[in-house]
Amino acid sequence: MSREFCDKEKKRILAEQQENNKKIYLLTFTLIILITAAAIYSLFIGSAQIEWRDIYRVIFSGSRGMVYNIIWNIRLPSILTSLIAGMGLALSGAVMQCILKNPLASPFTLGISHAAAFGAAFSIVVLDFSAVIENFAFLEGVYLPSAAAFLFSQIAVVIVLFISRQNRATAETIVLAGIALSSLFTAGTTALQFFADDLELASVIYWTFGDPGRTTWNQLLIITIVFIIITAYFIYQSWDYSILNAGDEVASSLGVDSAKLRLTAMTAASILTAVIISFVGIIGFIGLVTPHIIRKIAVGSQRQLFINSALAGGLLLIISDNLARTAFRPVVLPVGVLTAFLGAPLFIYLVIKGRQYW
């Protein structure tokens, strides 16, 4: 009788796993289809009306002119930047929440975004913001605010990692330290804005508004290369992250160095976030909310969570960019403002639902 019961339980568990895997694979396929549809739709919307025959002439007939410039130099880089930036931010948020075991962990809450904003404001107000890094040809178009934003975001990362290495530093302590850093860098940015002239103030405000449409092809290439390398690393280490969820003692017994794993994961996620923010600006709540949405829909392995979170983040940012371009046409809203308006109520809803999925 006991053996029959065990066999039934094994079959039931196996059936549930198969059903859950089908649900996860269906989610992945659906996200890919939606991303493709949203990207194609994005080519047609904006302040300038473009039709199918215009795109056909640009792609197959080699037509040059205003439509060519709109598609290749404005809309297509914006769409691809939205996709890669959204995927990178969502992936970084999923990794941080995994290794810190804290649902509030994200690049936004750990102070990385605000540190980048302070770095850009510092370069605009104090330094020559029109300077270009000319020592390396492949960095053409990378202006000083982007370089300063990356530098200061890495300073925030070093501080957070230093705190995480201290004795008895819990995941909650790291998140609280990130919130404190956010307040500190926000105060610094406000002080710089107070002493800035009108042109510098406008430049600072423009930079802090996240906007995928500001990137060039060279900048998109840099973001894409960093995203591919770090994503491959996270996927490769996903099994170790799954073991880490079982606890440090279990991870140690299986030969996983939990401290080293957390350190490298935090560093990699922070570099990916810093590169994206340096070129795109501050885009909040993508890295915080997206992993929770995926957990709410389907729970799987860490690898599946990372992949689906990245896809959902890319889709969410493309949709947000579309809404920002069309909500008050011909005025284009900063997409960072829209993600905050959409993300904050959604996250409050997820918090009210409780811990049933994290």
Does residue 140 register a pLDDT over 70? no
pLDDT digits (tens, 9 = 90+) for 31-53: 999 999 999 888 887 766 777 77
Place of tokens 């080519």: 43
Q: What is the mean pLDDT of the chain?
A: 79
User: What proportion of the chain, given as a percentage, has pLDDT over 90?
Assistant: 16
pLDDT digits (tens, 9 = 90+) for 228-241: 999 999 998 888 88
Say which residues have a Cβ less than 8 Å from residue 184's Cβ, sequence separation at least 6: 111
Q: Please classify residue 138 by burial: count the beta carbons closer than 10 Å to its beta carbon, then call 0-12 exposed, 13-18 middle and 19+ buried.
A: exposed
Does residue 206 register a pLDDT over 50? yes
How far apart are the C-alpha atoms of 13 and 18, rounded to whole Å? 9
Does residue 356 register a pLDDT over 50? yes
* Relative orientation angle of helices 335-353 and 302-326, to the nearest 10 degrees: 130
Q: Which structure tokens are listed for 249? A: 């003692």
Which pTM was predicted? Answer: 0.85
State the greatest distance between any 2 C-alpha atoms of the chain, in Å, as a whole number. 83
CATH ID of 3-356, from 1.10.3210.10, 2.60.120.380, 1.10.3470.10, 1.10.10.10 = 1.10.3470.10
Place of tokens 């290794």: 99
- Predicted local confidence at residue 311, as pLDDT: 94
- Predicted local confidence at residue 130, as pLDDT: 47
- Predicted local confidence at residue 121, as pLDDT: 86
pLDDT class of 126 with cuts at 50, 70, 90: confident
The ranges assigned to domains in the chain are: 3-356
DSSP state of 331: B
> Are the C-beta atoms of residues 159 and 181 closer than 8 Å to each other?
yes
- Predicted local confidence at residue 132, as pLDDT: 43
